[in-house]
Structure 1
Amino acid sequence: MKDEADREPARDPQDLPRLLVSREQAGDAEGMAALYETDAILDIGGGQLARGRDAIRTFYAELVAAGQRFELGDQRRAIVNGDLALTSTRLRDGTVTVEIAHRQGDGTWLWAIDQPSILP
């Protein structure tokens, strides 16, 4: 697996979905979790939330191990307001993912809240 410093950062909130899918397809759960703020929240279904990057990493590691495969959908243009952005993607089955990204001090973007419809 790549070291975090070797991974491509999200320089635009529009980069986040593509990076998530490419890292998932590469089996890089650590890299997937690195797209989230350290205290981010990910809806993992069934009314449960993964809170924090460690919990998100664990969740994605289980998905990768189970052979889950993500696909790129029709990404909507991010709505940006200062250091916050709303990202969303319409998937092939018509469902939509919704995320809130936060611009970091170095200008890169990480998700703070993720409501993915692509997860079981």
Structure 2
Amino acid sequence: MTTTPQPAVGAGTPEALEARFVELATAGDLDGIVGLYAADAVVSLPHGREAAGPAAIRAAFAAAIAARALGPFDVAVVSRAIVTGDLAMTTSSAADGSVRTQVARRTAGGRWVWVRDGSRLRHVPACVPVDSGSLAVA
């Protein structure tokens, strides 16, 4: 019996999360994208809504991918992190001046995952489902 190796969750460093996201989003790898977020993560959506937890985050990113609202990706993105213990604030600055901020946490296995993403989907209306039962209002 052969098994397919599962993708590693998160990234090896908090700064690497952004590059990993771009790689996974470019490939349309929804499982991989969701794997960049902790089980208790929250992602900001338009209109003060939030996707909390893997199911809601998956639904939001699935809608954004279906609407082709995630790219094109800027190869000139610069990622930085301020690390304090097992927490980090990550920022990504693009050539157009846009900045994304997230909070990451080191897992027990030493990988980094985002726990709070306040900007990636904030301006993507397609990711707010009509049935918002799995979403919270901020």
TM-score range, shorter chain: 0.7 to 0.9
Q: Is the 8 A contact 2:106 2:113 kept in 1?
A: yes
Closer/same/farther in 2, CA of residues 111 and 117 from structure 1, 3 Å limit: closer
Q: 2:17 aligns to what?
A: 16
Rg comparison, structure with higher value: 2
**Which runs of 5 or more residues in structure 1 are unaligned?**
none
Q: 1:75 aligns to what?
A: 78
Q: Which moved more, 1:69-78 or 1:23-32?
A: 69-78
TM-score of the pair, normalised by structure 1: 0.87
Q: Is the 8 A contact 2:21 2:36 kept in 1?
A: yes
Q: 1:113 aligns to what?
A: 116
**Which runs of 5 or more residues in structure 2 are unaligned?**
125-138
Paired residue secondary structure (1:6): coil
Identity of aligned residues (%): 33
Q: How does 1:1-120 map to 2 (within 5 A)?
A: 5-7=6-8, 9-68=10-69, 69-72=71-74, 73-117=76-120, 119-120=123-124
What CA RMSD, in Å, does the superposition of the two structures yield over aligned residues? 2.0
TM-score of the pair, normalised by structure 2: 0.76
Aligned length: 118
Q: Is the 8 A contact 1:42 1:114 kept in 2?
A: yes
